[in-house]
Amino acid sequence: MGQAQQTENSQEIDIKALQDMYKKFVMECPSGLLFLHEFKRFFGVDPTGEASDYAENMFRAFDTNGDNTIDFLEFVAALNLVFRGDMEHKLRWSFKAYDKDNNGYVEREELRSMIDSMYRLKKGMRTDTSDSQLTVDEVVDRILQAVDSDGDGQITMEEFIRGAQQDPWVLNMLKLDMNPTGWVLEHRRRSAHF
């Protein structure tokens, strides 16, 4: 019974969060298009801060048609995935965020860039990771060793998904923060103190 209540409350929070994000989208983007600088402002990201690179990767993943804007349909589709998608869909979306040049592979430098961004973001938000004793390069090496099954230095989407599904540590390191609501609330709290 307590579990059913918790699920209902979580769903209500999700719907409320979606409504709040829709209102904010309409206020921030009366044109119906969200550009990168607006996306960063929308999520309260300092354009030069530790979350900037992370936000740019999220923006590219949300921008499914590659026109350097996010329209409301892309926004809703991304939020639907974030709140309702299964793990494989979330991993496919995460892969797109890692694949900066959109060539269908995640190369070492792309992986390193994203892991570095996540480390800086977590450090900036003072959330500790269980693997904080590992350097960015050690994490990248460990992920490549676990995921790059053919050893070519490039991770395909299939390797990415399979590796994440087979190894909980890899999953934890590869999955992107799929809780923008928490991210927004944290930034609201931080900006309210300034």
pLDDT tens digits along 76-88: 777 777 667 788 8
In DSSP terms, 173 is beta-bridged to: none
Top mean-pLDDT range of 24-28, 76-80, 84-88, 166-170:
166-170
Handedness of CA 128, 131, 132, 135 (dihedral sign): negative
What CA–CA distance (Å, rounded) separates 44 from 61? 18
In the chain, % helix, strand, coil (3-state, to 5) comes to 65, 5, 30
What 3-state DSSP class applies to 154?
A: strand
Long-range Cβ contacts of 82-85 (<8 Å, 24+ apart): 82/178, 82/179, 82/180, 83/14, 83/17, 83/18
- The whole model's pTM is what? 0.68
Tell me the CATH number for domain 2-192. Answer: 1.10.238.10
% of the chain beyond a pLDDT of 70: 75
Handedness of CA 15, 95, 113, 72 (dihedral sign): negative
**Rounded to an integer, what is the distance from CA 172 to the centroid of its chain?**
12
